[in-house]
Amino acid sequence: MKRTQFTAAAMATLLISYSALALDANEEITPSSEGYQYLVYAVTWQPSFCKLKPETSGCDKPPQKFLTHGIWPYNNSIGQKTNRHPAACNTAPSCESAAKCDIDENKLQEISNTPEIAELVTVAPQGMFRYEWKKHGTCAGKTESAYFKDIVRLREVVDYNEPIFNAWVGHSVEFDLLKTAFPNNTSFRCFMLEGKQYLHEAFYSINPDGTPYYDDGSLQIGIPCEPQETFIPRGT
């Protein structure tokens, strides 16, 4: 894998910028010079997201499906650091400098209005795309177009037993049972609301070609799902 080197000053600027953010106790921003070892294809169960943030565009009628959240370069867990990833790498071909790598607004609109992409993501995704590109896309070593086309190219990795899962929608299921509907390269994020644990997101660890990646069984992004009844709300 090609790895772009930064000056010490540029690297320090980026690390200071992201160290100012509130990181989870198990999270680590890895140096961009180390590249990445695998990708995480992240999907959100949209009815759950809309329970959490009902004011979001499209949440008046949330679709009953997993929508793509992003594609994130990741590094293997080390000890208690089970959420290790580069961020704001600015190594993308279109980046002007280590300090500036915003996506062009015209390019953003072009990507957002691509039908194949739009059907897999939330309504009005421009803000999400802008953030995803700045934080994660710039670490993938690709152009903006190539990075966001991977939403479609890699979507087939979102694999689960739909008949079994669909039977649970609208109900609660023990989390340990819920996991059996997904392949072994999947990890999960949940949240608690009004005394219920909700399934929030699923994360597929993959190689860049979309094949499963199994070498980081400790990955945990965000709030872990406790071994208890987990609610999967219905959409429209």
68 close to 151: Cβ distance less than 8 angstroms: yes
pLDDT band at 19 (very low <50, low <70, confident <90, very high): very low
pLDDT band at 12 (very low <50, low <70, confident <90, very high): very low
Dump pLDDT digits (tens) for 85-114.
Answer: 999 998 888 887 656 789 999 999 999 999
Average pLDDT taken over every residue of the chain: 91
Average pLDDT rounded to a whole number, residues 41-54 = 98
Instruction: Please report, for the chain, the start and end positions of each structural domain, with discontinuous segments joined by +.
Output: 8-232
The DSSP annotation for 187-235 comes to: EEEEEEETTEEEEEEEEEEE-TTS-B--S-TT---SSPPPSSEEEE---
Average pLDDT rounded to a whole number, residues 28-41 = 95
Whole-number Å distance between alpha carbons of 30 and 11:
11
Report the pLDDT value the prediction gives residue 21, as an integer from 0 to 100: 59
Dump pLDDT digits (tens) for 126-140.
Answer: 999 999 999 999 999
Report the pLDDT value the prediction gives residue 228, as an integer from 0 to 100: 98
Which CATH superfamily groups domain 8-232?
Ribonuclease T2-like (3.90.730.10)
In this prediction, what percent of the chain has a pLDDT beyond 70?
90
192 close to 44: Cβ distance less than 8 angstroms: no
